[in-house]
Every structure is written in structure tokens, then in C-alpha cells.
Amino acid sequence: MKKMYIIAGERSGDLHGSNLAKALRSRNQSLRLRGFGGDEMKKAGVDVFVHYQQLAFMGFVALVTNLFTIIKYIKLCKTDIDQFKPDAIVLIDYGGFNRKIAKYGKARGIKVFYYIPPKVWAWYQSRAFELKRNVDRLFVILPFEKKFFKEKCNWDVDYVGNPVLDAIKSFKVDSDFSNKNGIDRSKKIIALLPGSRKMELTRIVPLMAETAKRNPSYQFVVAAVKNLSVDLYADLKTEANVKFVYDASYDLLSIADAAIVTSGTATLETGIFKVPQVVVYKTGSFEYAIAKSLVKVEFISLVNLIAAKEVVKELIQEEATLATLNIELAKLVQDSVHIAEMKKDYETIFQILDTGSASENTARLMLQAL
């Protein structure tokens, strides 16, 4: 009986880990799966040892202040791996934590597979060599990553497609979604996707609330997350033209006319749903200064990175103001030429990414490697 230890440290990793687990189990029903993850991975048959909610720290300051907690869980993870004795360790995103586990697994002769690796092409590119030393097979989800690893460190990695497409293709629209949530479809629907991390919300929610107040004729709908404190959404709660939906971002994007999105996977999801969007991102001034000195890419949104050009406007740090955001929102709703061009670019991005099921492709290659 083969055994795999899967580690996902965030909500998105839990989703992609669950789809991978389903694909693995469909090919080998006797496969035992254990690791770090969340509710979705549990549903997919993974014996979840530690829930990702105990690990979701974002940003330099958050990592430093929670350093001892992270070290504790790394030690706990290593001990559990030793006891479980897997044939392979499967790492999903969550770079800082998983790179240490990769090194540990390699030293013990366990096969190490990395699915959705850290964005080493964006910053600290030297980490690419570390990954090559400690990872047996790397499964990348962005087309340009394959070229990057070949040119940077002469490493042939596997491009498997993008798991976001898997999730969206399998999504079933709730036909009664608007009625259940009291959404006024007679108005333009503006989706607000502020992210799923506390630090993101504290910076972005006040700006989104100001924008909603400035545009009373629009119906704003927040894609909120249940496991976050309601206090983080407080500024938006006071606006009469704002509704909330929980853990239902795909249903929201299926009816949205436009979207204001915090950078991350949500920018790509919004693009695949062909919803015109503007990306807004703010962080602490200290963290931003560090990031600006390290980041090696022109864009922060996946939509623009994949297209290798500005498809959607990115309002970052001091550019993310009420005035600039309001101008961009008006274009997303009223400028038909701008909307058409963006949707045409979205279609091109979809065609680039659509190489079959990323989960199925990855599962097949992993099991072959075992």
C-alpha cells in the first residue's frame, strides 16, 4: 500500500490539495493520504493532522511575530512524517514552510513532489537552485514557469495546467443564489474580493467601503470568508448598498458585472469568469519597501503575468486611492470598448492555460514516479 504525506498551509492549497487527492485516489483506491490541510482535503479522504488555519500567517511582520509557532509546527510535521513513513511527500504552495520539509524529506530518502511551487521567479530567484536540490519532481501551474526553471538552473519541470480551471470547470451555479442573498439584479453588480487574510482586509476594506459609498446606484457584494472575524468587514457593514456572501465567490462572479480584487489567485478566477476587474493592493510601508527591493516582475496579478502585458489595471500602495479606484470602476462598468478588450484578453489567457485537468495530470505523473 502506497502512502503520501500532503502539506497545504492555506485555504487555496486546501482546495487544490483536495482535487489532487481525489485524482490520486481515483487512480489508486488503496492509497493512504495524510498531512496538513483543511476541510476540503478531509472530504477528499486525507487524514488531516493539522488544520491550515493554525498556519495562515502572511507578510514579513506576521511571520516574525509567529516564528516560534511556525518552528513548532515544522518540528511536529517532521515527527509525524517519521511516524507515517510515506513513500512520497507532496508539497502544495506555502513556500517558507514547505521548503524546509522538502529538505527534510530529501535527507531521509523520501521522494519529494512539489505541486504549485513558490513564486521564485518573482523574488529570491536563488531559491530555484534550492528547490532543484531538494525536490524530485516539480509540477508548475503557469506556462512561463517551465521556461524560467530551464533557463535559470537547467531543470526540466512539468507544466501540468492550472488547478483554478479544474475548480471552475467543476463548479455548478446556484440558480437561486441572488434571491437567497437578497441581491438586487436590477442594479449593476460589483463583486468585492478583499482576500482571505487578516492583513489584506485591514488595508483594503476601508477603501472598498469608501468606493461603495461613492456609488450608491451599484449593488456591491462582498465575497467574505467565514473563518475571519466579522470585525474585519465592519466598514462595509454600514453601507446600505453592500451585501455579503460567505465562501461563495464563484457564485458571485457568475453574476457580477465588474469586480474589485485584491491581488492573488482571485484575479485569475475573476478573469476566467470574464468579469472586468481592477486589482487593488496595500500592505504596510515597511513590508512594501522590502518587497519593492526584491520583486523581479513587472506585474503582481496573475492575469497580467500570464498575458505578459497589462490586461487589468493594478492600483498598488499609494496608487490605491478612492479617486483612482472610482475612475477605474467607471471604466469597468461604462466603457464598452475597454470591457470588450479585457474580455478578449481573458479568452486568450484561458486558451493558454487550458491543457486538461491539472489535478489529473499531476496525479498521473506522481503515481508514475512512484
- The alpha carbon of residue 249 and the mean position of all alpha carbons in its chain are separated, in whole angstroms, by 13
Nearest to 354 by CA among 171, 159, 172: 159
Chain segment 184-216, per-residue pLDDT in tens:
999 999 999 998 777 778 889 999 999 999 999
Higher-confidence residue: 227 or 49? 49
- Which residues have CB under 8 Å from 175's CB, separation 6+? none
Does one domain contain both 208 and 318?
yes
Does one domain contain both 277 and 306?
yes
Does one domain contain both 129 and 35?
yes
Does one domain contain both 65 and 214?
no
Does residue 172 lie in a domain region? no
Does one domain contain both 196 and 157?
no
Does one domain contain both 80 and 141?
yes
| Residue 56 to residue 206: CA distance in whole angstroms | 22
Does one domain contain both 147 and 190?
no
Residue 125's domain spans which residues?
Answer: 3-161+356-369
Does one domain contain both 337 and 360?
no
Chain segment 113-123, per-residue pLDDT in tens:
999 999 898 87
Query: CATH no. for residue 283?
Result: 3.40.50.2000
Does one domain contain both 188 and 156?
no
Does one domain contain both 113 and 10?
yes
Q: What one-character DSSP code corresponds to residue 78?
A: H
Residue type at position 353: L
Does one domain contain both 144 and 258?
no
Percent of the chain with pLDDT over 90: 75
Would you state the pLDDT for residue 317?
87
Higher-confidence residue: 170 or 340? 340
Does one domain contain both 329 and 217?
yes
Would you state the pLDDT for residue 60?
45
Question: Residue 81 is placed in which grid cell?
Answer: 512524517
